[in-house]
Structures are given as structure tokens and as C-alpha cells.
Structure 1
Amino acid sequence: MALAPPTSLVFKVQRCKPELVAPAKPTPYEFKQLSDIDDQKGLRFQISTIHFYKHDFSILKEIRDPVKVIREALAQTLVFYYPFAGRLRKGPSRKLVIECTGEGVMFIEANANITLEQFGDLLFDVPNSGGILHCPLLLIQVTRLKCGGFIFAVRLNHTMSDAVGLVQFMMAMGEMACGACAPSILPVWQRHLLQARNPTQVTCTHHEYVDMASTVAVPIPLNDVISHRTIFFGSTEVSALRRCMPHHLKQCSTFELLTACLWRCRTIALQTNPQEEVRVLCAVNARDKFKPPLPNGYYGNVCAFGVALATAQKLCKNPLGYAVELLKKAKNNVTEEYLRSVIDLMIIKGRPHFSVVGSYLVSDVTRTRFGEVDFGWGKPFYGGPAREAIPGVSSFYIPSKNSKGENGIVVPISLPVQAMERFENQLDILLVEGPTSHL
């Protein structure tokens, strides 16, 4: 994968033939089972992140080749994270296992004759490399730029790790690139800790895995032209939304506030039937829910969806605080027992995909430390998701700065063109005029 500059720019990217980088030392040949959270159908896809680095002479006095440094660091890190160098296989009942073959991960060296400032959005891939089974579990591309900076991009098979686990791996690579002999946090597999109970028992309600009656056949009409926007929420915008809150909700979290706003505006923009149920799925990192806690260094998936549910009419006719209350309850519902119940449901229902019809999926990565991965060039001036997980259905909350240098959160949004116009109008109403009824 690589960044693609604006279409008006003439440039060249030279890519070397993809290679497999294997662990720097021999590693065990064995089979390792994924957890029953890891191999659910909804995680059987690829996630991409991208990191932009400048060559800062105040940090790096000598000229070093980022491709060479990162390739070597990757090989050293794979000695500890050797399951990443293996391949996924399918066992009985669709259970996924890693065959730790030591084959390696895919690595691409590239050069671009432009600077960081000239780049736009990401998009390069290696044909036939992105399958779930029998394919490399990681694809890494390092692109040198003529300004001395570089771009580090990763594509990960999501069944292996969530965002926290991926950052743990990349931080380990950064440490190895800076001369460490071993990661400061050693990886822990132990996926058996998140296996189903015997006997299985679904003790909670899981709206995220229940198909709701819907007047539409697909989340976003497939024949619509899709418009993409990245919306910045700084202190001014957050304060404007907070003024919409009643006194007892003034201290709600920024996540709850933004999610309520976006969910409401999106529902209005899609002109959802007022009687139709809509829901927002909040990806919650459940690591701190366990007692005793999961081992430090566990890098598997430990996320569950908190679900807020309402009819479109109630969501859009009520004040914004109504949605915030629903979101608070949804997040609080995600306990250790809730996650155990999800795990058991996976076995009982055959590892189902979460429902996307009538759903909006949000994932907050503002605290995931993507922006702290340092290979010796300092921290990236951007580090985070490269694209939406499910275009038109999902959004990430990513820490960033605007053109004035103000800290805030950027949120990528994709909607049909006309729906995007309605969405932006509704957002302006909330930010400027305050909430009103629409349905």
C-alpha cells in the first residue's frame, strides 16, 4: 500500500518486487488456535494504517535508510511475534488456527519523487495477497520520499489483532529499530483465555448480532455515487455541541458527544423511515474489564460492541442528550460477562457477522498510540487508520491537528452524494443553531 497524491499531480512511484521477510532466527513450528473473539466472521478482513515521518535533523543527525532499518527491525521483531510469520488455516466448525511456518510477512520497498506535503489518500495493494486463509498476515510498505521523509504503511489480517495489539507490535518494531535486543513488552498469545465456556451460555442481549426488520436491502445503495469527507472536531466544535446538553450531561465524554451528533445527523441524511430501528455500534476495548486482568502483552482482539438502539423518529425528534444517554448505557453494558456472552454466542450461532443494515459503527483510536510509533525518526506527524473499515457504515475517531495547528479529532465519513449534503447541513445546524426536530 502507498499514498496516492492528488490526481492533478504528475509523479512516479517505483516499487520493488514484494518480498517475504522471515524472522531473523529460527522459530517454533506449531499450530496456534485463535480465540473465539478473533475468528468471528466480522473480523475476517484486512485493516490498514499509515504513518508519515519527516527527516528532522534535530532528531536524526545521520542519513539512515528507513527501508533497511525497518526491514531489519521487522525480521528481529518477528522472532518474538512469530505467529505473524505464519499462515491461517481453517479447522472444524470454521475454527481458524495459525500454522506457524515462519514463511514471513510481505514487505514492499518503494520510492516516490514527491514530498510529504504533496500526498493525498492511500491506495496501493498487492494483487492476490489480501485473502484471509493461506496468505501473509501482514503487508508492510516503506516509501522513501525526495524530501528525506518516508511513509510507513501496514495492512493487517484483523483476526490476528485489534488496534491495541497492532500498536504493541509496531512499538516493538520501533524499539528494535532503535537498537533494543527485545521488546520492552513481550508478546503473550494465550488465546485460550477468550475461548467459549463449557457449557456455553448467552447471558446478555446482543443487538449487534441480531438482524432488525428493515425497509432497505443494503446499508448504502450500491449504485449511488459515494462522497467522502473528513470532519474536524476541535475545541470550538466540541464546546458548541456540549452547549446542547442538559446540566446532568455537561460532563459527558467527547466520544459520547460526537457519536450522538454523527449518529443523529447521519440518520437524518439517509432519510431513514421514522419507524425503522437504527443503532450505533461502539467498539469498546474490554481489556480493563477483566478480573483478574489479561496478561500484559496480550495482542489478540479484545473488543466488543456496545449497542445503542432507537427508532429513527425518537433519535431525531428528541434532543441530542437523548442519544448521549443511550450511548452511556451502551458503553456501560460492556463488562467481562458481556464479552464472555459474546464469545459463547459465537459458538452457538456459528461465528456470525455483526449486522450492518441500520447500523453505524464507530471506533475511537484517539488513545491507541498510533501516533507514538518511533523508528528513530521521531514520532509521525500522522499515524492512524488509512481508511474506513466498512465504507458508508463505519467511522474512526483519529487524533489530529487542523491547518491552524489546533488539536482535535478527525472523523472520516462516507455517504451518497445527496445524503452527504444533507448530513453537512444537519451538522451545521447542531454546531451553529442547536438541535431541532426533523422527522
Structure 2
Amino acid sequence: MASSLLPAFTVRRGEPVLVSPSAPTPRETKPLSDIDDGEGMRFYSSGIHLYRANPDKRGQDPAAVIREALAKALVLYYPLAGRLKEEAGRKLVVECGAQGVMFVEAEADLTAADFGDVQSPPFPCFEQFILESTTVAGVEPVIDRPLLYIQVTRLKCGGFIFGQRFCHCVVDAPGGMQFEKAICELARGAATPSITPSWGREMFMARQQQQPSYPHLEYSEPSGGGPEPDRMLTTPASDMSRVPFFFGPNEIAGLRQRAPPHMRGATSRFELVAACVWLCRTAALGYGADEEVRLSFIVNARGRKDVPLPEGFYGNAFAYSVAAATAGELCAGGMGFALELVKKAKSAVTYDYLLSVADLMVSRGRPLFALTRTYIVSDVSHAGFKSVDFGWGEPLYGGPAKGGEGPLPGVTNYFSRSKNGKGEEGTVVPVCLPKDAMEKFQLEVQGLTAQQL
């Protein structure tokens, strides 16, 4: 649903306050891992949950319930109430002093029904429902700032919106959801969360002799290209078009038909959609045949036998892996070639790969990942957004506030799960491209997803 379809409304915010742990917590300094504190993690990731009214909760204030549960949850997750400090070598540590997280209550002249059937990010008028922190020269700093901002907006129907912004240095998506679920359990009356948090950052520290053992294309500029900069990095936001693309059963079947026979049964939905969007995006943007183009995507290390994560770990446990080819090679090779590159990049992330990333961060000053002719995707389909229940029931919408996070629109993208008008479940990709490239992209996608007779 587009923001323009909402009725005129006003959000009235109260005065933001700091919420500290409800009981004494350790006063100490805890280092982040060398994966946590890379330049690419130094931003706030935002999410939104929309709830309808619950007759069983009549007379209860969701903001008060959440605020009380938040204070209790921060006793176990006390580093989240601290502040980041930067030490020698740009190393980030958390000064745990119970300084608190930022919390604000708000009111909106809207009902949950006014948002319609929101299925994918960006959430309509999301800026009104998340609490921003102070920016400096257009950049939002993370040093000496609250690590979490929460806004609870009451709706006139009795429902509410829960908006949060986490500092990505301290949690990734599953880690943030673990904390939110702890708040939910406490809000619903549990004495303690079902999962005990674990810090565990030492397992992702650089080795004594930093020797990155992989190419790590994600931190180097792509080859080829002339004097003209990548148009995805220079096109003004006003000249960009954003369209959500739904990949349901029919589209996935069409893509699977175009996979090589030996891959069809062993290729995931994510691999199919990622390969398709990367291929179609490259063709639509008209890159030169000799220009290297890349797909960079997050590979989660959770659940892998070779990555000894402690139970309850809530830090960053992923790496960016890269599929790369020249635009000419990619477009000529089609889906089969793109899929091979995606699957190879996905399988490359092991515990040794993660340690190599940590080594690179320390040896190269914690660089930002490359952005030129690069498409960065994150699959949040399995993060568990729909299970965030503060006692009012399952959210009508739960997911990222924006279509992507990061430095520039269109360079980063979230893949999420939703249903279409027929009730079919699929993957939604909110694609952002220069307006003159969007029609070409749509035609390319239609061509690849059409089922062959």
C-alpha cells in the first residue's frame, strides 16, 4: 500500500526518555567482535510491527506494558543499555554503565485498518513511526549514542505500532529478534526470557597474525569501467522508481525451469530470486560488457555445524559473500551461469572465512564494503518478525521499516516473505532503480519468470 493512500494524519510524540535496566547490572567494558565493528555495520537498522486492537487488552496501555518489559529485559541484555566507544585502531567497545535506551510514546489519528494489507517494506510513512537520532553532516553516528531507539505509537482503534532502530554493530537481525522476543515474553507475564543471552564475541576476533585467506571481493572495487561513475551511486532519489516484485509459486516455477537440469532440485528459492534480480538488474542498467558487476549477499552462520556459536548469541554472525562476473559474461550466460556463481559464493562462507573477514577488518582499518556496480541483498524471510507478540497477538505487519538499509537507495535490498492477493506465499523484493531502467527491468523479470510449455 502506498503512503499516498493513507488519510491525512498527525503523529504526536511525547518527550523521549531513557529506559535503564530495572535492576543493577555489571559496570564493565565489553569489546565488540572484529566482525561487529566494521564500517559497514556502523548504522541503525529499523523495523516496524503493526498491531490491531485486542478486546482482552482493553484498558491496558501497550506503551506502559512494553516499557516495563523492556527495562526487565535490559537486566540480562545490559550491554544494549550501554554506549559505544572507539579505541585505538578504530576498535569499538561497549561501555556498560546502564545509560539506557531511548523510548518515546506517541499517538496517531489512524486505525490499523488504514494501512490496508501491508505485505512488504517500505512500511507506509515509516519515518513517522521510528525515532531517529541526531545526524551530523547527514551521517548518523553510533559512538556515544543509545544503541536502541523505540517508539510505541497508539492508534485510535486501540491498536498500536512498535517501531525500533538497533545499532547494527551490536546485533544482527536474528539477534535483534531474540531481544524483542525476550521483551514479548516478559510483557506476557513470564518471569524470565526462555533464551539466556550470551555475549560470545571472542569467537569472531582476528587472529594474532592477521592473514586474510580469501579474496574478499566485497572490500575491493570491481574491475573495468570508464570514467563515468556507476549511475546507481549518482542518480538522485527523486529520479528513482521503487516497485515491489512478488515471486510466488508460478514465478519460482518459471525460474526453476531455466536452471540447468542438474540444479533444479538442489536450488533454493533465495538462490533463484537473487540470481534473477541480479541478472535482470544488470541488463536494465546497461553496464558495459567489460564492466565487472557483483551480487553481494549476507550468509548467516547460525545453525552451521562448523561455526561454534554459543546458545543465546545475539551479535553479528554473518559475512558478505560475492558473486562476480563482467556484465557481458553474466548477460550471455543467463540464469544457469548466474545460479552457479550464486551457489559457489554461498558455499564459501565457513568459520575460517569469518575469521578471515575479522583478520581483514583489523589489518585494513575496518573498511566499508565496495558499492560500485554492486547489488547487496539480505534475506530476512526467516528472521521471525511475525512472532513478535507483546500480548496483543500476531502483528498485521512485521518486518523492516525500509526496503533496504545502507548508504544509498537501490544498492541494498531486503528479501521478505508475504502473500499476494490470491493468498499465495512468496518472496517480495522492493526493487529501486532509476526510472528509465525500471521498465526494462520489469520486462526482463517477466521473461525469466514466465513458465515454458
Superposed pair shares fold, TM > 0.5: yes
Q: Does 1:78 align with 2:91?
A: no
Name the residue aligned to 2:318. 303
SS at 2:442 equivalent? helix
Q: Distance in 1 between matches of 2:396 and 2:5?
A: 23
Q: Distance in 2 between matches of 1:418 and 1:84?
A: 43
Does the Cα contact within 8 Å between 1:275 and 1:313 map onto a contact in 2? yes
What is the root-mean-square deviation of aligned Cα atoms in Å? 1.8
Name the residue aligned to 1:126. 132
Does the Cα contact within 8 Å between 1:220 and 1:416 map onto a contact in 2? no
> Which shows bigger deviation, 88-97 or 224-233?
224-233
> Which shows bigger deviation, 206-215 or 361-370?
206-215
Q: Does 1:248 align with 2:254?
A: no
Number of residues paired by the alignment? 430
The CA deviation at 1:127 is 4.9
| 1:132-158 alpha-carbon deviations (Å, 9 max, x no partner) | 111111111111112221111111111
Name the residue aligned to 2:429. 411
Q: TM-score, normalised by structure 1?
A: 0.94
Q: Distance in 1 between matches of 2:318 and 2:80?
A: 20
Q: Does 1:150 align with 2:160?
A: yes
Name the residue aligned to 1:87. 83
Amino acid at match of 1:413: V
- Counterpart mapping for 1:392-411 below 5 A: 392-411=410-429
Q: 2:289 aligns with which of 266, 271, 274?
A: 274
Structure 1 residues 406, 56: closer, same or farther in 2, change over 3 A?
farther
| 1:67-90 alpha-carbon deviations (Å, 9 max, x no partner) | 111111111111111111111111
- Counterpart mapping for 1:362-373 below 5 A: 362-373=377-388
Amino acid at match of 2:21: P
Q: Does 1:294 align with 2:312?
A: no
The CA deviation at 1:55 is 2.1
> Which shows bigger deviation, 418-427 or 401-410?
401-410
Name the residue aligned to 2:181. 171
The CA deviation at 1:385 is 1.1
- Counterpart mapping for 1:82-121 below 5 A: 82-119=78-115, 120-121=124-125
The CA deviation at 1:291 is 3.8
SS at 1:70 equivalent? helix
Q: Distance in 1 between matches of 2:367 and 2:451?
A: 42
Q: Does 1:195 align with 2:205?
A: yes
Q: Distance in 2 between matches of 1:396 and 1:142?
A: 24
Structure 1 residues 110, 415: closer, same or farther in 2, change over 3 A?
same
Q: Distance in 2 between matches of 1:4 and 1:11?
A: 15
Q: Distance in 2 between matches of 1:4 and 1:410?
A: 15
The CA deviation at 1:431 is 2.2
Amino acid at match of 1:11: F
Q: TM-score, normalised by structure 2?
A: 0.91
> Which shows bigger deviation, 137-146 or 400-409?
400-409
The CA deviation at 1:63 is 3.9
Q: Does 1:36 align with 2:42?
A: no
Q: 1:317 aligns with which of 332, 338, 347?
A: 332
The CA deviation at 1:28 is 1.5
Unaligned stretches of 5+ residues in structure 2:
116-123
Q: Distance in 1 between matches of 2:199 and 2:324?
A: 35
> Which shows bigger deviation, 135-144 or 245-254?
245-254
Does the Cα contact within 8 Å between 2:251 and 2:451 map onto a contact in 1? no
Amino acid at match of 1:126: E
Structure 1 residues 97, 105: closer, same or farther in 2, change over 3 A?
same
> Which shows bigger deviation, 10-19 or 283-292?
283-292
Q: 2:251 aligns with which of 207, 231, 237?
A: 237
SS at 1:176 equivalent? helix
Q: Distance in 2 between matches of 1:158 and 1:212?
A: 26
Q: Distance in 1 between matches of 2:58 and 2:133?
A: 36
Amino acid at match of 1:37: I
The CA deviation at 1:346 is 0.8
Name the residue aligned to 2:60. 64
The CA deviation at 1:432 is 2.7
Does the Cα contact within 8 Å between 1:114 and 1:146 map onto a contact in 2? yes
| 1:242-284 alpha-carbon deviations (Å, 9 max, x no partner) | 1222211212100010001000111111111111011101101
Amino acid at match of 1:245: A
Does the Cα contact within 8 Å between 2:257 and 2:451 map onto a contact in 1? no
Amino acid at match of 1:350: G
Name the residue aligned to 1:283. 298
Amino acid at match of 1:410: V
Q: Does 1:159 align with 2:169?
A: yes
The CA deviation at 1:184 is 0.8
Name the residue aligned to 2:405. 389
Does the Cα contact within 8 Å between 2:254 and 2:451 map onto a contact in 1? no
Amino acid at match of 1:217: P
Amino acid at match of 2:48: I
Q: Distance in 1 between matches of 2:28 and 2:342?
A: 43
Does the Cα contact within 8 Å between 1:4 and 1:123 map onto a contact in 2? no
Structure 1 residues 264, 171: closer, same or farther in 2, change over 3 A?
same
The CA deviation at 1:406 is 2.1
Does the Cα contact within 8 Å between 1:4 and 1:122 map onto a contact in 2? no
| 1:381-435 alpha-carbon deviations (Å, 9 max, x no partner) | 221111111321111111112233221121111111111122112112222377x
Does the Cα contact within 8 Å between 1:187 and 1:299 map onto a contact in 2? yes
Name the residue aligned to 2:234. 221
Name the residue aligned to 2:118. none
Amino acid at match of 1:246: P
| 1:201-245 alpha-carbon deviations (Å, 9 max, x no partner) | 211121111112343424432346111111111112111211222
Q: Distance in 1 between matches of 2:57 and 2:104?
A: 26
